[in-house]
Amino acid sequence: MNYRTDRIILIIFLLISTAVAFLPYFVQSEYLLRLITVVIFWIGIAGCWNMMSGYTGYIDFGPVVYFGIGSYVAAIAMTKYMVPFFPSLFLSGLISAVIAFFIGIPTLRLKGAYFAIATFAFAEAMKQISLEFDRTFKVSFFQGSDGITLPISGHDNSFFFYCILPVTFVVMLTHYFIEHSKFGYGLKAINEAETAAEISGVNTTANKLRAYATSAFFLGLYGAIEAYWITYITPSDVFNVQKTVQMVIMTLLGGMGTFLGPIVGATFLTLISESLGTRFVEYYLIMIGGIIIVTILILPSGIIGTLKIRKRLRFI
Partner 1 sequence: MIEPLLKLEKIDVAYRDVQVLHGVDLEVYPGEIVTVIGPNGAGKSTLLSTIVGFQVPRKGLISFRGKTITNIPPEETVKLGMTTVPEGARVFTDMTVLDNLKMGSYIKSSRVHRKESLEMVFNFFPRLYERMRQKGGTLSGGERQMLAIGRALMSKPSLLLLDEPSLGLAPMLVRKVFETVAAIASTGLTVLLVEQNVHFSLEISKRAYVLENGRIVKHGFSEELMNNDYIKKSYLAL
Residues that bind partner 1 (CB under 8 A): 1, 182, 185-186, 188-189, 191-193, 195-204, 314
Label residue 111 left, alpha or beta by phi (over 0 means left) and psi (-120 to 50 means alpha): beta
302, amino acid identity? G
Smallest separation (angstroms) from partner 1 to the CB of 87: 38
Residue closer to partner 1, measured from CB, 193 or 230: 193
Residue closer to partner 1, measured from CB, 163 or 303: 303
Smallest separation (angstroms) from partner 1 to the CB of 38: 33
HEC secondary structure over 5-38: HHHHHHHHHHHHHHHHHCHHHHCCCHHHHHHHHH
Which helix (H) or strand (E) is 149 found in, with range? strand 148-149
Smallest separation (angstroms) from partner 1 to the CB of 200: 5
Residue closer to partner 1, measured from CB, 73 or 304: 304
- Three-class DSSP category at 284: helix
Smallest separation (angstroms) from partner 1 to the CB of 314: 8
Q: For residue 105, what are the contacts with CB-CB under 8 A and spacing of at least 6?
A: 205, 209
Smallest separation (angstroms) from partner 1 to the CB of 307: 15
Cα separation values, 191 from 36, 53, 208, Å:
33, 9, 10
Q: For residue 8, what are the contacts with CB-CB under 8 A and spacing of at least 6?
A: none
Residue closer to partner 1, measured from CB, 143 or 258: 258
Smallest separation (angstroms) from partner 1 to the CB of 97: 23
Helices (DSSP H) in 180-239: which residue ranges? 182-192, 194-199, 204-230, 235-238
123, amino acid identity? A
Residue closer to partner 1, measured from CB, 86 or 177: 177
Residue closer to partner 1, measured from CB, 34 or 180: 180
